[in-house]
Chains A and B, each alone.
Chain A
Amino acid sequence: MRRVNLDRIETILAVVVIIGVLALLGKILLGDRGLDVNYMQGIVGVFLQAAVLSVYITSMSFAIGIGIGFLVGWLRSMRTVPVGHLVRDFRIAAKEESGSAAIRNILFSLTLVWSGFKHAVRRIMDGYVELMRGTPLFVQIFFVWSVLLVYFTKIPQRDFIAVLVAMTINTGGYQGEIFRGGLQTVHSGQVEAARALGLSRWGAMRYVVLPQALRLITPPLTNEYIGLLKASSLAFYFGVRELTYYTKQEAFSGRNFEAFVLASVLYLAITFTLAKIVQRVETRYRIPGLGIQAALTRGVRRTRM
């Protein structure tokens, strides 16, 4: 109980200090003018609508990204053997001269083709993830936007679509990495037991691996959503009227403090609410022995819920 109280006090202190620093900064920069509350009330409606559009873009691309991420992650988590190893093993097996040579050769050829295919798919997926993680999102959006501009002139809401597509492909790559990690963390014995029970490959994924992996990757997926929401601010550059778009407009009209304070509060409100919801969900679906809580469930007292 004492530790819980200390935690609370710490949090409150931190908030007080932050507010104090901000107030001081405001005093220095704004002087006695202060924030124009009337003005802020005037623009809050437009800003709220814009924030909804930000959340909409983020959620759309994130949701489709989950599908892409799962598929990419699954493909990348499959075990493949480099062709060189296969050939080496085959040579050794051939020297042993067990069974018939014809069957061995046929088996080897089939294995080689199948492994080669799987290996190629995996490498392509690796490349996709690297490309998304290794180049700026802004450049990616720019690229898609320019392609649409040149080749798909008749698409309605072209700028909006460009941003949405680029962000979807981008988050798909990031989530592919998150899913790969999550799927690989689930013990291989779980799959074996599922298969031994008569579940298909997909059944084992759907009913055994995925429920465990999703619990494990909820924190990184949440981070990804928050990161994506912040990245959605890039859309203003392409004329999409989301939160940053209006912030820029208002800021250029001279009310930069009012605009940025309002925008920051809205962005914060969204991420904070999301974090709280995810925390609820995590607690609701927590299972003893699975994930980070595993270490905490035995003996150690939880200081925060």
Chain B
Amino acid sequence: MIRIEDIHKHFGALHVLRGVSLEVTRGEVVVVVGPSGSGKSTLLRCINLLVEPDEGRVFIDGVHVNTPAIRPEWVRQQVGMVFQSFNLFTHLTALQNVTVGLIRVKDESKDAAEAKGKELLARVGLAAKENAYPAELSGGQQQRVAIARALAMDPKAILFDEPTSALDPEYIREVLDVMTALARDGMTMIVVSHEMGFAKSVATRLIFLDEGKIVEEGVPEEVFVHPKHERTRAFVSKILR
């Protein structure tokens, strides 16, 4: 489904990703953890080419996508993304946020897009908020709209970049519930998150990233309870405390 091979990325003098390889099969939920600055967000952005890898190859459904022959816009329609700070379009209502991609990218009719948009808002529990602007929604509600917006494009996978980190504690649950439901429905997901409860109950695999490299990966329980590497152990003890 998604395969990346030996990816490197520099930001100026910073060597952020130092040879990361990863394969995610259909329906898998991979949770990525790691200290800040370890390259988690950059890794996600290399998959949908918001960040162009300097070296290495990215495959989506077997298609090598980080070549000039493939339009990055096409890649981004295959792989949705949900951001830490929601990034809902400020000037659009909840419904318009969900439909704008369908209308402007997929050239769907307004009616068809709205029907689908309403269905998706209902799915994330926000049917009543379709005409609200982002500023009128709570953080949790905004993030759920953002998930609906990503779902609208019928992506093959969705990338989550710390989806609950910017939320007040009381809103984290509702977002995780939506994500859990999504995972149960078989959506392929790569989630950068330190929500260990979510990782334990939903993730099929946990990846520990440090200094631009995958240090350890495995079943969440395994990595949490019996971390093999010193650095994983140190990190896990910090976030589980």
Q: Identify the A interface with B (CB < 8 A).
A: 81, 85-86, 88-89, 92-93, 96, 98-100, 103, 107, 187, 189-190, 192-200, 203, 207-208, 211-212, 215, 287-290, 294, 297
Contacts and interface: CB of A to CB of B under 8 A. Distances in A.
A197 B12 contact: no
Contacts of B153: 197-198
Contacts of B135: 287-290, 294, 297
A208 B133 contact: no
Interface in B120-134: 133-134
A196 B50 CA distance: 7
B94 to A, nearest CB: 12
Interface in B25-62: 48, 50, 54-55
A96 B15 contact: yes
Contacts, number: 96
A107 B52 CA distance: 12
A281 B120 CA distance: 32
Contact of B87 (A190, A211, A212): A190
A88 B133 contact: no
B50 A93 contact: no
14 contacts: A85-B12, A89-B13, A93-B12, A99-B55, A187-B87, A189-B87, A193-B146, A195-B76, A196-B81, A197-B153, A208-B89, A212-B91, A287-B135, A290-B91
A193 B91 contact: no
B10 A93 contact: yes
Given A93-B10, A198-B105, A289 B133 contact: yes
A195 B79 CA distance: 12
Contacts of A196: 48, 50, 76, 80-81, 83
B77 interface: yes
Given A86-B12, A92-B12, A192-B87, 17 more contacts: A85-B12, A89-B10, A89-B12, A92-B13, A93-B15, A96-B15, A99-B8, A99-B54, A103-B54, A103-B55, A189-B83, A193-B81, A195-B50, A197-B100, A198-B77, A212-B90, A289-B133
A198 B101 contact: yes
B238 interface: no
Contacts of B50: 192, 195-196
Q: Can you list the 5 inter-chain pairs with the closest CB atoms, starting with the nearest?
A: A289-B135, A92-B13, A193-B87, A89-B12, A189-B87
Contacts of A93: 10, 12-13, 15
A98 B8 contact: yes
A212 B48 CA distance: 25
Interface string B125-151: 000000001111000000000100100
A98 B15 CA distance: 9
Given A198-B73, A294-B135, A289 B90 contact: yes
A208 B92 CA distance: 9
Contact of B83 (A85, A192, A215, A287): A192
B241 interface: no
Given A98-B15, A98-B18, A189-B83, A194 B133 contact: no
B89 A194 contact: yes
Contacts of B89: 190, 193-194, 208
Contact of A88 (B13, B18, B55, B76): B13
Tell me which of A86, A98, A198, A215 has the highest count of chain B C-beta atoms within 10 A of its own C-beta.
A198
A207 to B, nearest CB: 5
A192 B76 CA distance: 11
B65 interface: no
A141 to B, nearest CB: 38
A108 to B, nearest CB: 10
Contacts of B74: 198
B229 interface: no
Contacts of B100: 197, 207
B146 to A, nearest CB: 8
Contacts of B134: 289
Contacts of A211: 91
B88 interface: yes
Contact of B90 (A86, A192, A290): A290
Interface string B86-120: 01111100000000110011100000000000000
